[in-house]
Structure 1
């Protein structure tokens, strides 16, 4: 097999990667998410043993174009159909689902899942015919659709803390700021009436930032049952590929809560530790009225 050329995305692609619930087999998804990142995509990695609820909510909050997951635990039919249905129910049927499970997912099951609405089930035969990079190219090409463009979001949507609208507006601020500049200006005036504290947390890799935030979130939710919080997390983009690993969620177990919104941002410039769109994300979180905002980099 000849070396596959790497697909070059036309848009900033964001992919949520995970292994399914009750599945500790994460070797395959770890390999795939590294290739996805090296191919120029921004990867929000959740790790193994993740529920449909966690994966779907992450994809919505992160305004991802697609979900890529592995399932070796035998419950792939129910798991993937439930995921598809939940995305439809939440008004996010545009988010595509890709999956693989080696020989666990039978060919007739793959056909049934794809007929149901799953974008693609990759089989061992696909791996032999397409190669790893070929499968990633296929996934990226099918996911290469713009986000934050021609969005139908109003200031009222933001004030009501609609997570879908918040996610779309942050993407628009990143990708098409001129298009939503009037809306950002409108909510900036509203923001001045709200004084939500912003807690900044920084440190070297492995210092324990994500673990600290997880504990803060846990105690905040326990001690303030009526309050809500937002987390904005920034990770660096790779200089060569432009891809990024946005992996802070993998160590945060308390954030899967309706009172917590989290958005991961890539710097999209290799020499910076902050995204230049952090201020816009913070502005949107302030306007939404979150009681505490955590900024982590």
Structure 2
């Protein structure tokens, strides 16, 4: 097959990608979203088994041009028609829907869906004729438009927290910064509240997104009638300009009316934050959110940029940082209000906790402080009701009150328990079924003798 030239979009294109509800087949959508990224698109990937409401909420909050889905579960007619109807109902009819499902979606069903308003359902025949890159080029050409040409009533009644208005303001700040100065001044003049800003940063793969999800989950349960805005930053690829904005894959608590989330690409090399992150924070403050969380992309040892934008900072790391001397190079240990050693089930976690506490004492000249007074916590964000996560949440609420005066009323209290892996089957018994089978085989052999 002749190689297809990659379409070069004139505008920054953003897509939401996912596999539909009750569908665990995500191999195809993973291939498609990787080609979208390598073609210069910013992709907010949700993973598999996603409901229409989740996808539509995400698409509106992220102010995307397109949604790309796969559906192999047989309910595609109802699923995609409902998605189209929901977008129209919520004033986001400009978002185009693209989908595929191999041979599961029949030709007459493709015709029915496209006549209903779905932009394109790709069939196996399309794949043979166009190729993968040809299909991606078709999607990019259809979505190569600006989502916000000019602002109208977006700054009015912003405290109602309408997702669409907030999303359009952030897009305007990101894509048209020169013309956003006047609306920004109007927002800053009108908004009275000054909610605390929590900055979360750490090394790549430390589990920041999972940890944010667990903090948000506890906030929703413990703190009543308060809302959160989450601004999550991921790096852009220097070579292609594309980006995987994948933090939502790990976040399961955010599909809630009290939560707004926006993913930003850095759109520049070697930085952990987008240059428009402060404008995004100001918009969320003006919208009246009670807490703003900013999560950076993975950082190196010397990066402390987040401290310029937040009131309280949390540094997330893992026990696998190497020799204890490496801790002396981590600049954030000088500035972080709280430190989480996530993935605490890793080997050497207790030694890591001791070493990080020692380094924190040295950096802050608090040599007389007891270990349990040092704000360093071992956590396992992947574990349900983890004691370390509970202690981190309580410490965070207390630190926000101490530094900003904002008191979130939560009933959860600090405990002396530490994170410890809870096994359904203990490691020494992971072969117990094999042991039973082997014992039965040995018995059969003994009988045959």
TM-score bin (small chain): over 0.9
| Runs of 4+ with deviation above 4 angstroms | none
Q: In structure 2, what is the Cα distance between the partners aligned to 1:250 and 1:142?
A: 26
Secondary structure (helix, strand or coil) at the match of 2:103 reads helix
| Aligned twin of 2:199 | 200
Q: In structure 1, what is the Cα distance between the partners aligned to 2:154 and 2:39?
A: 34
CA shift for structure 1 position 273: 1.2
Q: In structure 2, what is the Cα distance between the partners aligned to 1:157 and 1:168?
A: 14
Secondary structure (helix, strand or coil) at the match of 1:285 reads helix
Gaps of 5+ in 1: none
Q: In structure 2, what is the Cα distance between the partners aligned to 1:69 and 1:151?
A: 30
The equivalences for 1:183-262 within 5 A come to: 183-191=183-191, 193-262=192-261
Matched-pair contact (CA < 8 Å) for 1:65–1:96: yes
CA shift for structure 1 position 177: 2.0
Q: In structure 1, what is the Cα distance between the partners aligned to 2:283 and 2:188?
A: 8
Secondary structure (helix, strand or coil) at the match of 1:141 reads helix
Q: In structure 2, what is the Cα distance between the partners aligned to 1:173 and 1:250?
A: 25
Matched-pair contact (CA < 8 Å) for 1:154–1:183: no
| Aligned twin of 1:99 | 99
Q: In structure 2, what is the Cα distance between the partners aligned to 1:270 and 1:127?
A: 34
The equivalences for 1:35-114 within 5 A come to: 35-114=35-114
- The one-character-per-residue Cα deviations of 1:93-112 (angstroms, maximum 9, x if unpaired) are 11000000000000010000
Secondary structure (helix, strand or coil) at the match of 2:229 reads strand
Matched-pair contact (CA < 8 Å) for 1:159–1:289: yes
Q: Tell me the TM-score normalized by structure 1.
A: 0.98
Matched-pair contact (CA < 8 Å) for 1:60–1:163: yes
CA shift for structure 1 position 153: 3.0
CA shift for structure 1 position 156: 2.1
Matched-pair contact (CA < 8 Å) for 1:157–1:165: no
Quote the RMSD (CA, aligned, Å): 0.9
CA shift for structure 1 position 181: 1.8
Matched-pair contact (CA < 8 Å) for 2:154–2:166: no
CA shift for structure 1 position 151: 2.7
Change (3 A) 1:152 1:22: same
CA shift for structure 1 position 150: 1.4
| Aligned twin of 2:147 | 147
| Aligned twin of 2:274 | 275
Q: In structure 1, what is the Cα distance between the partners aligned to 2:109 and 2:38?
A: 31
| Aligned twin of 1:21 | 21
Indicate the structure (1 or 2) with the bigger Cα radius of gyration.
2
Q: In structure 2, what is the Cα distance between the partners aligned to 1:270 and 1:78?
A: 42
Secondary structure (helix, strand or coil) at the match of 1:49 reads coil
Q: In structure 2, what is the Cα distance between the partners aligned to 1:177 and 1:238?
A: 22
Q: In structure 1, what is the Cα distance between the partners aligned to 2:173 and 2:156?
A: 17
Q: In structure 1, what is the Cα distance between the partners aligned to 2:109 and 2:224?
A: 43
Q: In structure 2, what is the Cα distance between the partners aligned to 1:41 and 1:157?
A: 32
Gaps of 5+ in 2: 297-449
Q: Tell me the TM-score normalized by structure 2.
A: 0.65
CA shift for structure 1 position 190: 3.0
Q: In structure 2, what is the Cα distance between the partners aligned to 1:278 and 1:66?
A: 23
| Aligned twin of 1:116 | 116
Compare 283-292 and 180-189 and name the one that shifted more: 180-189
CA shift for structure 1 position 64: 0.3
Q: In structure 2, what is the Cα distance between the partners aligned to 1:160 and 1:202?
A: 30
Q: In structure 1, what is the Cα distance between the partners aligned to 2:74 and 2:257?
A: 29
Query: How many residues matched?
Result: 296
Matched-pair contact (CA < 8 Å) for 1:22–1:49: yes
Q: In structure 2, what is the Cα distance between the partners aligned to 1:140 and 1:157?
A: 34
Q: In structure 2, what is the Cα distance between the partners aligned to 1:249 and 1:109?
A: 31
Matched-pair contact (CA < 8 Å) for 2:227–2:289: yes
Matched-pair contact (CA < 8 Å) for 2:148–2:172: yes
Question: Is 2:7 aligned against 1:7?
Answer: yes
Larger RCO (CA under 8 A, 6+ residues apart): 1
| Aligned twin of 1:286 | 285
Secondary structure (helix, strand or coil) at the match of 2:84 reads helix
